[in-house]
Amino acid sequence: MNSHATTLDSASTPRAVHPALVLFALAMGGFSIGTTEFATMSLVPDMSRGLGIDEPTAGHVISAYALGVVVGAPVIAVLGARLARRTLLVGLMAVFALGNLLSAMAPDYGWMLGFRFLSGLPHGAFFGVGALMAASLVPRERRAQAVSRMMTGLAISTVVGVPIANLMGQAMGWRWGFVLVSVLAAATALLVARFAPQEPGDPRRSPLRELGALKRKQVWLALATGAIGFGGFFAVYTYLASTLVEVTGVSPGMVPLVLGVLGVGLTLGNLVCAWAADRALMAAAAVTLAFSAGVLALYPWAAQDLGTLLPVVFLIGAGGGVGSIIQTRLMDVAGEAQTLAAALHHSAFNVANALGPWFGGLAIAAGYGWTSTGWVGMGLALGGLAIWMVSWGLDRR
């Protein structure tokens, strides 16, 4: 009888939660998302041949994914407000795995657009809900570092995941890059199901309460900072390969190496910025945006020679660490609408991914040359800094 009671007690005891394992599982999700987001850009030429379309048309596949992110982040955050976070994260990764597997099997361009849109839907909500879970595992004064450890998976994907997916695409066909991402996503779902804490959903959370985030001025200012300020990074990143070949004069084979240097800078910058944010969040973001503006201004000069370009590219990547700071800021200003605000951060990130290349492309088309993207990036970083200073000023009142 006592033995039976002991068995029941042990069965009902919640299993221990190991924050390091939970953060690893979340980082794996970031790694899989980053791999598909960035590797797809490098697979566009192969994809265009495989689907029988030209490259500009194939580029719309990337836009379809980004549209899925922008739409899915707020919609899923609102509709899934009452779900337990672990349940929601596992479901999101399952849909992400399915979307990428279907992308690998897309029979034509139309189906490919639909499958990439489906793949993008879970992106923002996963990062948003994952950031809230990561922050809940540690004391308040270490929230930014916990969030950055999850985001490190995204940064590392630019160094490891993207080259692997690209090599697989070249050696075995572009569809295998999406198969790789699908496997990574399925592994993430299993890891989250195994290690994440199973906390019951909060019945007090509701779609209307989540939508309350949209009434808060500071939420909009934080999102605008990310959408504008981070656009500088993408203005340079999008045209970096062309600049390397046309201006720096390196062979195409050197491009992955330089992109890897940028990825290393992004990874380290993510960790350093989070450390600073846990000590002085508002100042950390202001300094990072000013720093980004400075190194982006150096880019047109540095691009003339590989020896000067590499350290500047590394520093441009490091400035990308501002993303973790803004994610943490949203937790402070969202009130009870935490899920929607956290997910919207990644909608803003994808707005930056659209604005940066657009403004950079306008400068290039106007005849200012490939390196003009550095000046465009500097302007966007300063724009983000100006918005952040307005937010900081309102806080001081």
Q: Which amino acid is at 8?
A: L
Residues 6+ apart with CB under 8 A from 181: 32, 35, 36, 39, 100, 165
Q: What percent of the chain is helix, strand and coil (3-state, nearest 5)?
A: 85, 0, 15
Give me the half-sphere count of Cα atoms (radius 13 Å) on the Cβ side of residue 394. 13
Taking the C-alpha atoms of residue 102 and residue 96, their distance in angstroms, rounded to an integer, is 10
CB distance 78 to 210 below 8 Å: yes
98-117 as b/e, with b when 16 or more CB fall inside 10 Å? bbbbbbbebeebeebbebbb
Cα–Cα separations (whole angstroms), residue 12 to 192, 196, 243, 378:
20, 17, 60, 56
Residue 201 has what DSSP assignment? P
Taking the C-alpha atoms of residue 186 and residue 268, their distance in angstroms, rounded to an integer, is 27
**pLDDT tens per residue, range 283-303:** 999 999 999 999 999 999 999
Q: Which amino acid is at 171?
A: A
pLDDT tens track, the chain, 397 positions: 444 444 433 444 455 778 889 999 999 999 999 888 877 766 777 787 888 877 667 777 877 888 888 888 888 887 887 788 899 999 999 999 999 999 999 998 899 999 999 999 999 889 888 888 888 888 888 888 888 888 888 888 878 887 788 778 777 888 988 999 999 999 999 999 999 887 766 666 666 666 766 778 898 999 999 999 988 998 888 788 788 888 988 887 787 788 889 889 988 998 899 899 888 989 999 999 999 999 999 999 999 999 999 999 999 999 988 988 998 898 888 777 777 777 888 888 878 877 888 888 888 888 888 899 999 999 999 999 999 999 999 888 7
Taking the C-alpha atoms of residue 177 and residue 164, their distance in angstroms, rounded to an integer, is 8
CB distance 329 to 274 below 8 Å: no
Which domains, and CATH codes, for the chain?
18-196 (1.20.1250.20), 207-397 (1.20.1250.20)
The pLDDT value recorded for residue 226 is 92
240 CB burial (10 A radius; 0-12, 13-18, 19+): buried
Long-range contacts of 349-352 (CB under 8 A, 24+ apart): 349/124, 349/226, 349/227, 349/230, 349/323, 350/66, 350/69, 350/70, 350/124, 351/70, 351/227, 351/231, 352/226, 352/227, 352/228, 352/229, 352/230, 352/231, 352/233, 352/234
Pick from 217, 137, 184, 156: nearest CA to 29 = 184
Q: Which amino acid is at 289?
A: L
The pLDDT value recorded for residue 386 is 97
